[in-house]
Amino acid sequence: METMNLKDLSKKEIVTSDGHTIGQVEGAIVTTKGKIRSLSLKLNKDVVIGHKTTPNLDQDIEVEHVEGITDRVILNKPLKGLENYLQKHNEKYDAKRLIGMDVMDTKGDTIGTVEDFMIENKTWKVPQLRIKVNSGERDALKMKSIKLAGRDIAVSLSRVRDVGDMVVMNITADHLNNILEAPAIRKP
């Protein structure tokens, strides 16, 4: 399964099936089940959708309307009629709001911050968060031998218990350290 980072997807141009560039990807809307439901778009100011220029430039479009992703995101819908597929931007589930958010374990220790999301291109699942481990948290994670300070680690989304003002993991830092000591998971 091919994966990409949310940051790599963001800022890609959005092109309709009939070749019109309508804007760029700003982010993604993530469901509570860890799937990308739609892409957040920033429409170009001069884009005419329907019979008028779009007054609200922040829109979402469901991923089922994405034909493919290369250096651009290609929609499977033409410009004409596109207004039927655009939705008001859903800020509550915007993955962008999680970037930079603190990540806490079940004991209340800060592990690091959310750096990015991994996305499976074909299924739109979010299998992992990328967490940047800060040097201050390295000791709490007992990772001196792994030397992850300043680096990011991939953690399964199944390890996330809840999201509020911060991301709360359903494991302790010690448990996370045991998982990360497996050579196949550790980032070189």
The structural domains of the chain, ordered by start, are 3-95 (2.30.30.240), 99-180 (2.30.30.240)
Nearest to 95 by CA among 157, 36, 151, 153: 36
Say which residue, 61 or 184, is predicted with more confidence. Answer: 61
Residue 48 DSSP SS3:
strand
Residue 141 DSSP SS3:
helix
The two beta strands, 13-15 and 72-75, are parallel
User: Does pLDDT of 100 surpass 50?
Assistant: yes
Task: Identify the band that residue 146 occupies on the pLDDT scale cut at 50, 70 and 90.
Answer: very low
Burial-class residue 186 by CB neighbours within 10 Å (0-12, 13-18, 19+): middle
Give the least confident one: 22-36, 39-53, 56-70: 39-53
Task: Identify the band that residue 102 occupies on the pLDDT scale cut at 50, 70 and 90.
Answer: very high
Mean pLDDT of 70-87: 93
Residues 175 and 155: beta-carbon distance below 8 Å: no
Q: Give per-residue pLDDT as tens, 38-58.
A: 999 999 888 777 656 566 788
Task: Identify the band that residue 22 occupies on the pLDDT scale cut at 50, 70 and 90.
Answer: very high
Nearest to 129 by CA among 148, 111, 150, 152: 152
Give the least confident one: 107-116, 125-134, 174-183: 174-183
User: Does pLDDT of 36 surpass 90?
Assistant: yes
Q: How high is the pLDDT of residue 173?
A: 74
pTM of the model: 0.78
